[in-house]
Structures are given as structure tokens and as C-alpha cells.
Amino acid sequence: AIDPQFEANREKVGEENGVAVWGPVDPPEKHGIHGTHVAVDFDICLADGACLEDCPVDVFTWVDTPGHPESDIKAEPTHEDQCIDCMLCVDVCPVDAIDVDPG
Ligand code: SF4
Ligand code: F3S
């Protein structure tokens, strides 16, 4: 599962698609955690798609991660600023790849 303390335990290494990336990153095998308020561990996500289907405000967008061992696409929280903290995505992800921190 995603580490809910990732902000303390990881370093921000940059930005992709407008969201923060928390390392380590070493593509194509390692993409780190993407997003902060809504965070997706790209190295756990296996492209189930429930988060994209169920999010009431369309926070997530598919992005390509060719060659990643779990899946070739990932759910990027491109609109995390729209999140209403309903926690649906956290509940439906089968591999617990998502952390939402209402702060
Ligand atoms: Fe969307 Fe709700 Fe998840 Fe926020 S907590 S990203 S609103 S499903
Ligand atoms: Fe990935 Fe979980 Fe969404 S596997 S696509 S973060 S439901």
C-alpha cells in the first residue's frame, strides 16, 4: 500500500503533468508517488481504473508509463485541486495505491 507518510519519508524530485513527483524515480521501472493532496503510488498502481470511473469530480487522467512492471498506464491526479475528499478512490482501489489527505 502507499505510505501515508510519504511527504516525510520521500523527497520531492520534480513535477509531471502539473503534479508533484516524490522519488525515488528511475524509469521505466520506478515512477514514484504522484500528487500531494491526492497521491497515487505509480509503482503500485496496476491500472484498475476504478478511481477514474468513480471520482465524482474527475480528478484522475490516464498517463503512459511504457515498460513499467505493473502497467503501461497510470492514474495521474491531474485535477487534485478539485478533490472534495469523498474518499471513494481510496476505498475502491484494489491495491491501495491512493492516499487522500484532507489536511
Ligand atoms: Fe475524487 Fe473523492 Fe478521490 Fe477526491 S477523494 S480524488 S473527490 S474520488
Ligand atoms: Fe491505479 Fe488503483 Fe486507480 S490501481 S488506476 S490507482 S483504482
Dump pLDDT digits (tens) for 16-60: 999 999 999 999 999 999 999 999 999 999 999 999 999 999 999
Is the Cβ atom of 20 under 6 angstroms away from ligand 2? no
* β-bridge partners, 39: 99
Q: What is the pLDDT of residue 102?
A: 85
For a mutational test of ligand 1's pocket, the pick from 48, 87, 93, 99, i.e. the residue with the most ligand atoms closer than 8 A to its C-beta, is 87
Residue labelled with grid coordinates 521501472: 29
| Cis upstream peptide for 28 (omega within 30°) | yes
- Cell output for 7: 511527504
Q: What is the pLDDT of residue 28?
A: 97
Tell whether the torsion through CA atoms of 80, 65, 89 and 25 is positive or negative. negative
ipTM of the complex: 0.99
Residue labelled with grid coordinates 495505491: 97
Q: What is the DSSP letter of 26?
A: B
Is the Cβ atom of 91 under 6 angstroms away from ligand 1? no
Q: What is the pLDDT of residue 90?
A: 98
CB 80 within 8 A of CB 35: yes
Domains and CATH numbers, the chain: 6-94 (3.30.70.20)
Question: How do residues 59-91 score in pLDDT, each as one tens digit?
Answer: 999 999 999 999 999 999 999 999 999 999 999
